[in-house]
Amino acid sequence: MRNSFLIILIAAFAWFMYDIFSEYQTQEQLNKTAAYYNSNEPSEAGAANVVTAIVVTYRGLDTLGEVTVLFLATLIIGFILKNKAEKIIDSKYKTSEILETGAKVLVPGSLILGVYIFINGHLTPGGGFQGGAVIGSAIVLLLLADPNKIVSHKLMNFIESTSGFFYVVIGILGLIIAGGFLDNRIFPLGKLGSLISAGAIPLIYSFIGLKVGAEISGIVNNINETELTDKL
């Protein structure tokens, strides 16, 4: 009974999708929206990476909502896992000396790589989300090398909330000085392709990067510190 229902469902979905697939033609020209973005972005926003300009400026509210969703996920995870047991030193789990030493060398390098990625987000591929993910991976490596290490929750909360606050403050500054919320023209646009250009885009993307990095690290840290017990 259940299986036949499942097969009917999958077949219906496949038929629906086949409709899209059969009518799809590889396009030769950009559609209207993309043509507007591609041709007007260099003069309006001044970022060399068009995707960055769309994420940060044209669709800035989407990004704000997205960061809020991630923040809520972190918050709920911290709330669900709130009854943490005492930090038990797990003597059975011993990592090798090579991994510990290697982590000491690699973690600062990964952090610097993450910062590089989101500072150069408006010039090269990359940006706040990618840089934040790299920072989160560095924290994961830190916790893998020594699972009993205590990563400060206070510091992460501080970074997370401060960068979120400044993100919104820059958005409101755009409302006052320039054309609208999260407008990047509160600073001069500068020369296309140089590091200090594109107005507020590098600043906003750096704050997004710090926020995403702190949130991902917070999720991983919270889950790592939880010890399952029988009591709820």
Partner 1 sequence: MDILQIIGASMVLIGSLVLLIASIGLHRMPDAYNRIQVGTKASTMSVVFVMIGFIFILPSWFGKFFTIMLFVMLTNPISSNVLMRASHKKGEPLSSKTVIDNLKEDEEKEELNKNNENGTF
Partner 2 sequence: MTITIDKIALFLGIVLMLIGLYGAFSLKSIIRIILSLSIFDTGINVLIVSLGYLKGRTAPIIDGDKVTVENIFNVAIDPVPQALVLTAIVIGFGVTALMLVYALKLYQSKKTLDINQFSDLKW
Partner 3 sequence: MKMELFKLILIIVLAVIMLASAVYAVVSKKTVSAVLATGVISLLASVIFLMLASPDVAMTEAAIGAGLTTFLFFIIIRKIEKQDDAK
Q: Where does this chain bind partner 2 (CB under 8 A)?
A: 3, 6, 9-10, 13-14, 17, 20-21, 24, 26-31, 33-35, 37-39, 42, 48-51, 54-55, 59, 62-63, 66, 69-70, 73-74, 76-77, 80-81, 124-125, 127, 129, 133, 192-193, 212, 215-216, 219, 223, 226, 228-230, 232
Could you tell me the two tokens for 161? 């909330």
* Residue 213: both structure tokens together: 């990095």
Q: Which does 6 bind (CB under 5 to 8 A by kind): partner 2, partner 3, partner 1, none?
A: partner 2
Question: Which run of H or E residues covers position 1?
Answer: none
For residues 67 and 27, give the distance between their C-alpha atoms in angstroms, rounded to a whole number. Answer: 33
- 98 or 232: CB nearest partner 1: 98
Instruction: Pick the binder of partner 3 from 46, 71, 111, 136 (CB under 8 A).
Output: 136
Residue 48 CB-density burial (10 A; 0-12 exposed, 13-18 middle, 19+ buried): middle
| Stretch of residues binding partner 3 (CB under 8 A), selected from 2-10, 100-108, 176-184, 219-227 | 219-227
Segment 104 to 123, residues that bind partner 3, using CB under 8 A: 117
Binding of residue 96 to partner 1 (CB under 8 A): yes
Q: What is d(CA 168, CA 78) in angstroms, rounded to the nearest whole number? A: 23
Are 181 and 60 a contacting pair, CB within 8 Å? yes
| Angle between helical axes of 60-80 and 153-177 (0-180°, round to 10) | 160
Contact region for partner 1 (CB under 8 A) — 23-31, 102-110, 200-208, 211-219? Answer: 102-110
Q: How many CA atoms lie within 13 A of 164 on its CB side?
A: 20
- The tokens for 52 are 């960055």
Residues 122 and 205 sit within 8 Å (Cβ to Cβ) = yes
Binding of residue 115 to partner 1 (CB under 8 A): no
Contacts of 191 (CB under 8 A, 6+ apart): 197
The sign of the dihedral angle between the CA atoms of 129, 135, 141, 146 is negative
102 near partner 1 (CB under 8 A): yes
Minimum CB distance to partner 2, residue 83 (Å): 10
140 is a contact residue toward partner 3 (CB under 8 A): yes
Q: Is 51 in the site for partner 3 (CB under 8 A)?
A: yes
Residues in touch with partner 3 (CB under 8 A): 49, 51-52, 117, 125-127, 129-130, 133-134, 136-137, 140, 216, 219-220, 223-224, 226-228
Residues in touch with partner 1 (CB under 8 A): 95-96, 98-99, 102, 105-106, 109
